[in-house]
Amino acid sequence: MVVPIFINFSIVLERVKSHKKRNIIMSILWGISILFCMSFPVNLGQNVRLDLRIVPLILGSLYGGFWSSIFLSALIIAYRLYSGFGIGFYNTVLVLLLSIPVILIFQKYFARAEKRKRVKIAVGLSLYYCFIGFIIFIILRGFSIEYAGVQIIQLIFGAIATWFFIMLYETLIEINHIRTELQNAEKLKVISELTSVFAHEIRNPMQVARGFLQLLDEPDLPNGKKEYIQISLEELDRANEIINDFLAFGKPVINNNERMEVGYQLQRVAKILQSYSLNHNVQIKTDIVEDCWIFANGQKFNQSLINIVKNAIESMPNGGMVWITCTPTNDGFINISIKDQGIGMTKEQMDRLGYPFYSLKESGTGLGMMVSYQIIRSFKGKIKVKSEKDKGTEFIILFPKIN
């Protein structure tokens, strides 16, 4: 059971970028783990064998999803059938039929939950699986003190093993996440140190070139040459916008935060982008609860939200709706949601959001979103992204609430 976990965090995550391929590889590894668990059980009497197949089954199902769960269940049934057709086979099939639907129901909650809740879900499912096995075992073979003691042993060790391996898996996820954040922090540190110097040096000759192009744009010029000059000016302006994004990222964040009402700022963002959204056949709807206060800089806050809302508008080439909501949470945060009906994103695309030079737009640089992430984190905010391909995207931003 340790080997699939070790291979996942040392090899698979480093070399396999596709989420689907990672799931396939891990399903195969968990399947091998199940085969070994079933091949080397603990014999506790005549026709009584215990093994810990429940651990790789639960981990593979919770982290891999529906198809991984079906594959692992089919593998267990096939191997048990190969071992012999009898009461043990019926017991295995009935336990899986009653357990897998429950595991798949909780898998949806598991995917969205944090570490502590994930551990509780996994251990609870392990106890449920073992308890169902206990009940079916009694129904098929009858009750006896010896059999009851064996099943209690199975239940206790199954829960302990599940707790241990889910804690190990979640801890390695945290370590991997911290390592990735440190690597990205080093890259962004180098970029931030270089951007200011290079951006100023590049912008100066660009401004000179733009000035001379404007001087060449005389009224009696042929239309063709006027068009060339206009295109050149537009491209210089676009390059200047990219440089401004570089400077915004490389510039140290000035700590001039103050008590700020979120609803008022969100209404301003909606008004600023009203004409832009209408040009794209997009409507902006707001549902904002008043008296939501955070500690932030209003100008920087607006800059970050404008970038995100603008991306939401541009993600709907055929028009649609953008919802902006703001509500306080029970755990002391202000929840800001920006939801669209756009083209959506895959998991791989969501994982790369906020990194420099990554953008889903043909002419995008990714710097605007990177600056937004930096600003939100500077206010001690958290960003969560939910998205489905061709169904839309939702940005959930959490800021610590102040009274």
The tens digit of pLDDT for each residue in 5-59 reads: 999 998 988 888 788 888 999 999 999 999 999 898 887 766 667 888 999 999 9
What dotted CATH number matches 258-400?
3.30.565.10
pLDDT of res. 195: 66
pLDDT of res. 179: 84
Q: Which of 2-11, 118-127, 270-279, 320-329 has the lowest mean pLDDT?
A: 270-279
Nearest 10 degrees: Cα torsion 187, 12, 389, 74:
-160
State what percent of residues in the chain have pLDDT above 90: 31
Residue 249 pLDDT exceeds 60: no
- What's the average model confidence in pLDDT over 214-235? 80
pLDDT of res. 99: 92
- Give bridge partners of residue 280 from the DSSP assignment: none
The structure's pTM equals 0.61
pLDDT of res. 302: 86
Q: Could you give the C-alpha distances from 260 to 1, 51, 252, 273, in angstroms and in order? A: 51, 58, 21, 21
Q: Quick: pLDDT tens for 116-125.
A: 899 999 999 9
pLDDT of res. 200: 65
Q: Could you give the C-alpha distances from 303 to 65, 280, 326, in angstroms and in order? A: 38, 20, 17
Q: Return the CATH architecture of domain 2-176.
A: Orthogonal Bundle (1.10)
Q: Which of 12-21, 109-118, 268-277, 350-359 has the lowest mean pLDDT?
A: 350-359
Structure tokens at 398: 């959490």
Residue 241 pLDDT exceeds 80: no
Residue 33's Cβ-count burial label (10 Å; 0-12, 13-18, 19+) is buried
Residue 180 pLDDT exceeds 60: yes
What whole-number distance in Å separates Cα of residue 132 and Cα of residue 127? 9
User: Of 20, 29, 83, which Cα lies nearest the Cα of 56?
Assistant: 29
Tell me whether strands 333-339 and 392-400 are parallel, antiparallel or unpaired.
antiparallel
**Average pLDDT score, the chain:** 84
